[in-house]
Amino acid sequence: MKNLFRKTAFIFITAVLMCLCVMGVSAADDGIAAFAEGYELTISADYMFVGVKQSSQFTATVSGVEVQPAITWKSLDESIATVNSKGKVTGVKEGYTTITATAEVAGQTLEGKYPIQVVKNENIIHSYLETHNVLSYQYDYDYGYYYANDKASWQKNFGFARVYDYVAPYVGMEYDYIRVFFTYDEEDFMVQLWKGQYGVLYGGEVGIYNRDAAGKDSSPFTFYAAASQKYWPTMDMAVYHQEKEGQRPDQYKLLFKRPVDKYWWCTGFVMGTLRQYEPADELRIEVTITFRDAEMASLFANGIRDCGFTQAAEKKYMGIDSYYYGGGNDVSVSWQGISEAENTMGIKAGLGATILLGLVRLFLKWGLFGLVFSIIF
C-alpha cells in the first residue's frame, strides 16, 4: 500500500508540474521591439502576471545608441495597473492592460508595448518558474498570442501520458481532447489535439508522440516520448473563437494562426476566459498536417475517422468536425465538437479521489502538509 501511495503521489506531482508548465508563461527574456532608422527598443519584464498590490519591474533598452535615452512609461489603463517613471508596474485590480515605453532617438519616436494581466493572488510556483526561465514559452507580439518554443523546450524530453489529461482539471485546466493512435515504422504513435481553458489563457495544441511498439493497448500511465525529429510533421494551425452564442462558423474570430513549420508540438494561447470551460466547443481548431509519407498520413486519416470525424469530398467543403485526405502526405482537420474528455469524467473523478487520499496520507506522515499549505496559500 505504501508503494501504491508513493507511486500515486509521484504521478500526481509529475502531472501537476507538466500542467503548470502549460498554464505559466515565461516573460523574462521575451520583449517587444520597435524599430526606427536602425535603432531598436526592447521591453522585458520580471513577470507577465502581476498580483494585486504587487509589483513587477519592467525594463526598456534601446540598441544602436552609445547612451541610453530617457524612457517614458505609461499604462493604458491605470485602474488595472500603474507604472512609475522607472518602469515599476503595480497591480491595482484584476484585469488586463498594456504597458508602453517610448523614447526619442535622433528625431524619431520609438514605442514598445507589453501586455500584462493583474491577478488576485500571485502564484509562487508560477513566479519561480517564470523568473528562472524554464518554461520555454514565448509571445508573438505581431499577432498577440503565446506559444511554446517546441524546438528548444525541455518538455520534449518529458514525454506525455494520458493521465496528465485526467489530472489537469485539478490544477485549473479544463479542455477538450481527441487522440489518434496508430502503428507506423514498427513504433506506436499518438497524435493528440487539445483546446480549452488553461488557467488564465485559452487556446489549442497539436502534439505527436511515439514509443517502441508494445503490441497491446496502452494504459493511462503509459508514457510516450515526443516524436523524434525524423517524424516531425509540417503543420499550420489556426484557432477560432465563437465569441457570442449563435454565431455562424464563418463569423468566428480568428485568435491566431501558427506559421507553416515542422513541429512535434504546435501550440497557441491568448489571455481570457471562455464562456464555458468544458466542453470547449466555442473553439475550433483547423490544422493541416503533412506527414513524412502517404502511409503515415493514411493511418492518421483512418484514426481521425474512427474518432467520429466525417470525410469531406474536397478541402474547400470541410465543415465542423470533418477532415480531408485525398492521398499523398497531407491531412486537414476541422475540430470543434467531438471530445474524448466528456467520456472520461468517471476516470478523472476516481483518479482525483485516489490521488487526494494518497497525498493526504503522505503529507500527514511526512509532516509536509502545513509547509505545502503555507507555500501555496
pLDDT at 137: 65
- Domain count within the chain: 2
In a domain, 9, yes or no: no
Name the pLDDT band for 150 (thresholds 50, 70, 90). confident
Q: Are residues 79 and 151 in the same domain?
A: no
Q: What percent of the chain has pLDDT over 70?
A: 73
Whether pTM > 0.75 for this model: the answer is no
What digits encode the pLDDT tens for the residues 16-27? 444 544 444 434
Angle, CA of 292, 293 and 296, to the nearest 5°: 90
In a domain, 258, yes or no: yes
> Is pLDDT above 90 for 189?
yes
Q: Are residues 309 and 194 in the same domain?
A: yes
Looking at every residue in the chain, the average pLDDT score rounds to: 79
What digits encode the pLDDT tens for the residues 323-347? 999 999 999 999 999 998 765 554 4
Q: Are residues 172 and 279 in the same domain?
A: yes
> Is pLDDT above 70 for 5?
no
Q: Are residues 201 and 281 in the same domain?
A: yes
In a domain, 74, yes or no: yes
Q: What percent of the chain has pLDDT over 90?
A: 43
What digits encode the pLDDT tens for the residues 68-96? 999 999 999 999 999 999 999 999 998 88
In a domain, 101, yes or no: yes
> Is pLDDT above 70 for 349?
no
Q: Are residues 158 and 285 in the same domain?
A: yes
Q: Are residues 335 and 264 in the same domain?
A: yes
In a domain, 4, yes or no: no
> Is pLDDT above 70 for 8?
no
What digits encode the pLDDT tens for the residues 155-187? 777 788 888 888 777 767 889 999 999 999 999
- CATH number for the domain harbouring residue 92: 2.60.40.1080
Range of the domain at 279: 147-344
In a domain, 1, yes or no: no
Q: Are residues 169 and 312 in the same domain?
A: yes
In a domain, 105, yes or no: yes
Which 3-state string (H, E, C) describes the chain?
Answer: CHHHHHHHHHHHHHHHHHHHHHHCCCCCCCCCEEEECCEEEEEEECCCEEEECCEEEEEEEEECCCCCCCCEEEECCCCCEEECCCCEEEECCCEEEEEEEEEEECCEEEEEEEEEEEECCCCHHHHHHHHCCCCCEEEECCCCEEEECCCCCHHHHCCECCHHHHHHHHHCEEEEEEEEEEEECCEEEEEEEEEEEECCEEEEEEEEEEEECCCCCCCCCCCEEECCHHHCCEEEEEEEECCCCCCCHHHCEEEEEEEEEECCEEEEEEECCCCCCCCCCCEEEEEEEECCCHHHHHHHHHHHHHCCCEECCCHHHCCCCEEECCCCCEEEEEECCCCCHHHHHHHHHHHHHHHHHHHHHHHHHHCCHHHHHHHHC
Q: Are residues 101 and 46 in the same domain?
A: yes
Name the pLDDT band for 219 (thresholds 50, 70, 90). confident
Q: Are residues 103 and 152 in the same domain?
A: no
In a domain, 6, yes or no: no
Q: Are residues 308 and 182 in the same domain?
A: yes
Q: Are residues 157 and 114 in the same domain?
A: no
Q: Are residues 173 and 52 in the same domain?
A: no
> Is pLDDT above 60 for 103?
yes
